[in-house]
Structure 1
Amino acid sequence: MISPEAPILVFDSGIGGLSVLAKILKVLPQAPIVYSADYAGLPYGEKSEIEVATRVCAFLGRLSERYRPRLVVIACNTASTIALAHARAVLGVPIVGTVPAIKPAAEQTQSGVIGLLGTKATIRQAYVDKLEAEHAGGKTLLRHASPDLVAAAEAKLRGETPDPAIFAAAIAGLASQPQGDRIDEIILGCTHFPLVQEELAMASKVAGLDENLGFVDGSDGIARRVFYLTEGQPWPDSPAAGIFVSTGPVEQIEPYRSALERYNLTQIMSL
């Protein structure tokens, strides 16, 4: 029997997973939420595979013991492409991962040229090669590592204005590659990146990319999967205050408080 109060545990290295949480709350507004951020390990994109896998499994294990979630969402492309199989092997609850949305981008492209923005760790993964081979045959996938977008998204959520040069550099990293000027779909391969999609769209226009350029991420698919896996389960009559848990000090999260409250994450604590 699953308790109505059993939460959905959403995990990311930082606040990027909020882009996924927003979609989950649209389909499951009553769901109790525990959002966990490994701020002590941010950024994951600069770490080795073994380091990421070890941190993710250890962190999720401690969180699962404390909160007894009904389901875990790894709302981080880097963590999912590296540690998803490891986490599923050690945790006794369903786990939904996040991977670059290559399939929908390949289905939507008209030019046959797709861009992928991600962290350094994500774009080099064999898992991404596999997705490309399975879903983007006959298409051209251009990849570019944009770690600065993570910091830009974090700054935006703190109420700061990120440097526009960061977005221009990310788009230029794709557009300057052979056939880059033909890109008509850009995959946001990090959950932080949808939080700065407007800024990326503006930089794309300045760069002269397709005026009908689309941005694709996996958040809608994740929300549908979470809804399917929890269908028929009991929920509270009204949503409880969500919990935000960080591996860093609580003081580090204070600048994000107003942004977190928009997602009903009003209880902030450290692990």
Structure 2
Amino acid sequence: MDPSAPLLFFDSGVGGLSVLGPTRELLPNAPIVYAADSAGFPYGKRTEEELAVRVPELLARLVARFRPRLAVIACNTASTIALDHARAALEIPVVGTVPAIKPAAELSRSRVIGVLGTEATVRQPYVDDLAARFASDCTVIRHGSPELVELAEAKLAGEPISIESIHDAIAPMVRQPDGEKMDVMVLACTHFPLLADEIATAFPSIAQVDGGTGIARRIAYLTGGQEWPARPTGKAVFTSPPADALRGALSRFGLDEVHQL
């Protein structure tokens, strides 16, 4: 393995940074290419048929250009719809992102958990399967919130985010039957951990779980024994002109180069 071969992170926007962060902690010298399909953003409002074609095609272009050692679909929506398609299309390992329903069920005492994601993610049969396998004794309340995706993007761009807007985006989930008993919330969109502090302020009695740390451990396992360069490098590429306001946030994650694909 060429030590300079990067890890490729893929998302529709900046949500995948919540997976990149813990990966950087485990693999500090890993070269990173972060790809945002900003021209297709937000994925939560696109059809399953469209994403099943778009995601593997884009990943194939990115793999051909950057020659990564491994690809991470750092997006719950894209993973639940297109992960199998991407794995069939690529010859490198592909790590997906799925809702952290198992750890949420293990943590819950009330046996009522919430799955907070995009509209596309929460309606997927994959979520049904995870709930049946790991939370069969729980009431699983689902809620899709496109507003939170937009708020996370805005926060990373340096715009002020109000706690009231966070509360209003999540409140419909808590108002569902048995919602008042919910004690654990699955952040089933990689954008949402970027709002973890605001969500905790809006709903202090509900614990949060997400898959970022587990995904980072999986990446470290799959690249175990491989060589890394002496110093880390990082670049971000966007499928539409990147917003200048995001450059500061990207730099904080070690993505000092920003380009349009």
TM-score in same-fold range (> 0.5) = yes
One of 224, 232, 235 as aligned partner of 1:239: 232
Asked if 1 retains the 8 angstrom alpha-carbon contact of 2:51 and 2:78, the reply is yes
Q: Distance in 2 between matches of 1:20 and 1:184?
A: 24
Provide the alpha-carbon RMSD of the alignment: 0.9
Q: Distance in 2 between matches of 1:244 and 1:107?
A: 36
Residue deviations 1:173-229, cap 9 Å, x none? Answer: 121111111111000010000001111111114xxxx3xx21000001100100000
Partner of 1:264: 254
For the residue of structure 1 that corresponds to 2:39, the secondary structure is helix
Q: Point out where structure 2 has 5 or more consecutive residues left out of the alignment.
A: none
Q: Distance in 2 between matches of 1:121 and 1:239?
A: 35
What amino acid is aligned across from residue 84 of structure 1 in structure 2?
Answer: L
Partner of 1:53: 52
Q: Distance in 2 between matches of 1:75 and 1:122?
A: 13
Q: Give 1:45-84 correspondences, 5 Å limit.
A: 45-84=44-83
Matched residues, number: 261
Q: Distance in 1 between matches of 2:22 and 2:54?
A: 26
Residue deviations 1:105-130, cap 9 Å, x none? Answer: 00110110001110000000001101
Determine if the alignment matches structure 1 residue 214 to structure 2 residue 220. no
Alpha-carbon shift at residue 163 of structure 1 (Å): 3.9
- Runs (4+) of structure 1 exceeding 2 A deviation are 162-166
Partner of 1:128: 127
Q: Distance in 2 between matches of 1:66 and 1:185?
A: 41
Aligned-pair identity in percent equals: 56
Q: Distance in 2 between matches of 1:104 and 1:21?
A: 20
Q: Distance in 1 between matches of 2:38 and 2:70?
A: 22
Partner of 1:227: 220
Alpha-carbon shift at residue 248 of structure 1 (Å): 0.4
Asked if 2 retains the 8 angstrom alpha-carbon contact of 1:106 and 1:139, the reply is yes
Q: Distance in 1 between matches of 2:13 and 2:161?
A: 17
Asked if 1 retains the 8 angstrom alpha-carbon contact of 2:145 and 2:170, the reply is no
Q: Distance in 2 between matches of 1:227 and 1:89?
A: 22
Residue deviations 1:59-98, cap 9 Å, x none? Answer: 1000000011000000000000000000000000000000
What amino acid is aligned across from residue 222 of structure 1 in structure 2?
Answer: I
Asked if 1 retains the 8 angstrom alpha-carbon contact of 2:39 and 2:240, the reply is yes
Partner of 2:19: 20
Partner of 2:163: 164
Q: Give 1:6-155 correspondences, 5 Å limit.
A: 6-155=5-154
What amino acid is aligned across from residue 246 of structure 1 in structure 2?
Answer: F
Asked if 2 retains the 8 angstrom alpha-carbon contact of 1:8 and 1:71, the reply is yes
Q: Point out where structure 1 has 5 or more consecutive residues left out of the alignment.
A: none
Q: Distance in 1 between matches of 2:9 and 2:107?
A: 28
Return the TM-score normalized by structure 1: 0.95
Q: Distance in 2 between matches of 1:105 and 1:266?
A: 35
Return the TM-score normalized by structure 2: 0.98
For the residue of structure 2 that corresponds to 1:144, the secondary structure is strand
Partner of 1:196: 195
Q: Distance in 1 between matches of 2:20 and 2:222?
A: 16
Alpha-carbon shift at residue 162 of structure 1 (Å): 2.2
Q: Distance in 1 between matches of 2:6 and 2:91?
A: 15
Asked if 2 retains the 8 angstrom alpha-carbon contact of 1:144 and 1:170, the reply is no
Asked if 1 retains the 8 angstrom alpha-carbon contact of 2:113 and 2:140, the reply is yes
Asked if 2 retains the 8 angstrom alpha-carbon contact of 1:123 and 1:144, the reply is yes
